[in-house]
Amino acid sequence: MRVSLKDVAARAGVSIKTVSNVVNNYQHVTPAMRERVQQAIDELGYRPNLTARHLRQGRTGIIALALPELGNPYFAELAAAVIDAAALHDYIVLLDHTGGRREQEVLVSQGFRARVIDGLILSPIELEAEDLRERTENVPLVLLGERHYDLPYDHIAVDNVAAARAAVRHLIDLGRREVAFIGARRGHSQPAHLRLQGWREELLSAGLSVDDGLIATTEGWGHADGAAAMTRILETGRRPDAVFAYNDPIAIGAMRVMSERGMRVPEDVAVVGFDDVVEGHFGTVTLTSVSPDKEAIARMAVESVLARLSGQAPEPRRVWADYRLIARESTLGRSTQAARST
Amino acid sequence: MRVSLKDVAARAGVSIKTVSNVVNNYQHVTPAMRERVQQAIDELGYRPNLTARHLRQGRTGIIALALPELGNPYFAELAAAVIDAAALHDYIVLLDHTGGRREQEVLVSQGFRARVIDGLILSPIELEAEDLRERTENVPLVLLGERHYDLPYDHIAVDNVAAARAAVRHLIDLGRREVAFIGARRGHSQPAHLRLQGWREELLSAGLSVDDGLIATTEGWGHADGAAAMTRILETGRRPDAVFAYNDPIAIGAMRVMSERGMRVPEDVAVVGFDDVVEGHFGTVTLTSVSPDKEAIARMAVESVLARLSGQAPEPRRVWADYRLIARESTLGRSTQAARST
DNA sequence: AGCCGGGCTTGCAACGTTATACGTCCGCAT
DNA sequence: ATGCGGACGTATAACGTTGCAAGCCCGGCT
């Protein structure tokens, strides 16, 4: 059986409340009393029951983080950063994953998967604005990532259009003219939309034509999806001289296919990814990528939730996180490797 | 303000307990009554307060999972599997990471980081047996992974010695004679120890000599550590014809260094990793690896915790999870790729 | 000496839920 | 007509904690 304040109080011969005072470092406790109670605590091995404390205080010290998939190293690294950021504020993180499926995202946003939480950080993929408009759950919600909603929620993301434009600009500056985009999304409206839009805008502003034949859709966002999409492009007979991928795993999957077909990166095809995952730093050809400031995103997400929790939050805000384009061998080649920032 | 049973009861003109009965689908409730209460629930948007329920029931429906680092895709994938396995039993997962640091692992095992949990799954790296012997926290603990303790806790792992022997056997069967091991751990006793032991045993049983010059230690378990270790081996002038790495990131980091120095994989050096992370499936040279059955590990871990929770657990058990050696290009070359199991 | 004030300790209530045990009502068998 | 049992609803007491307000004691001031 677990020991409670009552047991300690009985042992020390004091009231429950006095024990509570000792546990919580209440100031008006004589050293002698503190000593005596502490001894009883140690002897019995008392540990506060956090559930009871939470019930009493109306908060739990837990925030939930819901990500599409942990298998994607970007999200795994982001999760680690959120856990650390939350720990700074004495918060603990409950982790969930949605598979990027709308149904799961709705459940999470409605709090049906975890109802013990003070706040929620959600990185949506398919979730629609109407789903959020119908949201009845009242724990603070902060949105993460690429989707864009005109709704009264805090939203933290990098400027995907600008970041995508920087990536494509980099390819154009290298003299590439046939820049494919891999990782567009069939059917659903927004995912990948902003990066695709950046690709389009930058091509147009460079006076290049926008060719839908160079857009490849994918089902998911993993290596295999990138490989399949690249294969499809090549089978149409197109030979792009550059690829901008929705994310790094897709880029790496595509590079694998190129390697199988004897195409050289970057000589024949320059490749830029997105997310800057560690994996891209160590391939046979290292990957140029857009690097979002994950720590800042995690920090701002946690702080937004907590601010809203304490009621001091003003208007819902859209916050842009920093990013950098880090050029590596997949665009520069092995010898001339260097870093470049935007 | 949040609505409670009391509010619903007032609205429906019934007792609190009747509302509770409706919420919990208690059988003796007339359809008419159920209807009436349900309507009040819907009108007010009532949601049960799980904290109160947990206090009452003495359990929270939360289990904690503490892993060394999420940046390692093996652990990220394992976390995803645990979340899914827990969901099957209506449990939610609180995620923590220890950085593989003993101090953090002790805190976690003692429940200082999260005390709202019913059970704990911990994958230790530096934790010592004495730390566990001194453990006073009484929530069920299940250990995961490679470390080996003679203590009364459930422990789930693949047979690391046997798996390592299979990996080295594979290299020997291919005719390799100078098999390096990358990823040993300086100072601390056990991590990597079992895999190193398997390497040693298999070399000896094949009549080969065990050469400490072919053992490279690392600080961590990431790509960069593998790269640094490989560089050190090559700088001693040694030219192994095979590498068995502690895990896949280390193997991939090492392969990057080989590629930089013009060494071909597998022609000059055959490489085997451990963990079978997705990243290894898509490199320019795909990676042969020992593939632990992550889903089974996650499932057994969750079930062990829950069994112990419900008191039906017998003796603490050591459970061996399945694994397979999956041969890919880093040992077989591109054309002859195939899969092999043990 | 009596009073006041502050430091220390305590009892009580409440957070929202569910288990238990009880009360009521109805229908049916005696 | 009476009694009995089952179906249904409810009052009450917990679960373990903390905020509040009150009570006690003692030293110092008048």
Kindly report which listed range (A110-124, A149-163, A319-333, B173-187) carries the lowest average pLDDT score: A110-124
The whole-number pLDDT of residue A1 equals 62
Task: Identify which of A144, A151, A161, A174 has the alpha carbon closest to the alpha carbon of residue A242.
Answer: A174
Chain B neighbors of A253, CB-CB under 8 A: 282
- Average pLDDT over every residue of A214-224: 94
Whether A103 contacts chain B with CB within 8 A: no
Report the residue of A55, A70, A83, A88 to disrupt the B interface, i.e. the one with the largest count of B CBs within 10 Å.
Answer: A70
**3-class SS string, chain A:** CCCCHHHHHHHHCCCHHHHHHHHCCCCCCCHHHHHHHHHHHHHHCCCCCHHHHHHHHCCCCEEEEEECCCCCHHHHHHHHHHHHHHHHCCCEEEEEECCCCHHHHHHHHCCCCCCCCCEEEECCCCCCHHHHHCCCCCCCEEEECCCCCCCCCEEEEECHHHHHHHHHHHHHHCCCCCEEEEEEECCCCCCCHHHHHHHHHHHHHCCCCCCHHHEEEECCCCHHHHHHHHHHHHHCCCCCCEEEECCHHHHHHHHHHHHHCCCCCCCCCEEEEECCCHHHHCCCCCCEEEEECHHHHHHHHHHHHHHHHCCCCCCCCEEEECEEEECCHHHHCCCCCCCCCC
- Average pLDDT over every residue of A29-35: 91
Say whether A71 and B2 touch across the interface (CB within 8 A). no
The top-scoring range by mean pLDDT among A268-282, B10-24, B43-57 is: A268-282
- Average pLDDT over every residue of A176-189: 87
pLDDT at B25 over 80: yes
The domain defined by B60-158+294-321 carries CATH number 3.40.190.10: no
The whole-number pLDDT of residue B336 equals 47
pLDDT at A188 over 70: no
- Integer distance in angstroms from CA B55 to C1' D14? 11
Strand, coil or helix: B298: helix
pLDDT at A199 over 90: yes
Residue A339: which pLDDT band, with cuts at 50, 70 and 90? very low
Domain boundaries along the sequence of chain B:
5-48, 60-158+294-321, 160-292+325-332
A16 CB closer than 7 A to any strand D atom? yes
Residue of A nearest to B112 (CA): A47
Give the Cα separation of A160 and A193 in Å (integer).
9
pLDDT digits (tens, 9 = 90+) for B113-131: 777 899 999 999 989 999 9
Residue of A nearest to B44 (CA): A136
- Integer distance in angstroms from CA A58 to C1' C7? 30
Which CATH architecture best describes the domain B160-292+325-332? 3-Layer(aba) Sandwich (3.40)
Q: Which of A51, A79, A278 sits opposite B223 (nearest CB)?
A: A278
Say whether A138 and B113 touch across the interface (CB within 8 A). no
Residue whose Cα is closest to the C1' of D15: B56
Residue B338: which pLDDT band, with cuts at 50, 70 and 90? very low
The whole-number pLDDT of residue B188 equals 62
- Average pLDDT over every residue of A7-24: 94
The whole-number pLDDT of residue B115 equals 78
Higher pLDDT, B242 or B1: B242
CB atoms within 10 A of CB A315: 7
The whole-number pLDDT of residue B340 equals 38
For the domain spanning A60-157+294-322, the CATH number is 3.40.50.2300
Residues B132, B149: contact at Cβ < 8 Å? Answer: yes
Chain B neighbors of A223, CB-CB under 8 A: 278-279, 281-282
Who contacts B255 (Cβ-Cβ below 8 Å, separation ≥6)? Answer: A284, B265, B271, B283, B285, B287, B330
pLDDT digits (tens, 9 = 90+) for B64-77: 999 999 999 999 99
Residue of A nearest to B69 (CA): A80
pLDDT at B337 over 50: no
pLDDT digits (tens, 9 = 90+) for B269-291: 999 999 999 999 999 999 999 99
pLDDT digits (tens, 9 = 90+) for A277-331: 999 999 999 999 999 999 999 999 999 999 988 877 678 889 999 999 999 999 9
CATH fold match for the domains B60-158+294-321 and B160-292+325-332: yes
Which CATH architecture best describes the domain A5-48? Orthogonal Bundle (1.10)
Q: Considering chain A, what is the average pLDDT of its residues?
A: 92
Give the Cα separation of B292 and B278 in Å (integer).
13
- Average pLDDT over every residue of A66-80: 95
Say whether A71 and B62 touch across the interface (CB within 8 A). no
Q: Which of A92, A116, A222 sits opposite B278 (nearest CB)?
A: A222
The whole-number pLDDT of residue B317 equals 87
Interface of B with A in 240-279 (CB under 8 A): 249, 252-253, 255-256, 259-260, 278-279
pLDDT at B27 over 90: no
Q: Considering chain B, what is the average pLDDT of its residues?
A: 91
Residues B284, A283: contact at Cβ < 8 Å? Answer: yes
Percentage of chain B surpassing pLDDT 90? Answer: 79
pLDDT at A42 over 70: yes
Say whether A256 and B113 touch across the interface (CB within 8 A). no
pLDDT at B194 over 60: yes
Chain B neighbors of A92, CB-CB under 8 A: 94, 96, 113-114, 116
Interface of A with B in 185-214 (CB under 8 A): none
- Average pLDDT over every residue of A221-242: 96
Q: Which of B97, B259, B284 sits opposite A80 (nearest CB)?
A: B97
- Average pLDDT over every residue of A188-206: 89
- Integer distance in angstroms from CA A13 to C1' D26? 22
Kindly report which listed range (A40-54, A198-212, B50-64, B311-325) carries the lowest average pLDDT score: B311-325
Whether B284 contacts chain A with CB within 8 A: yes
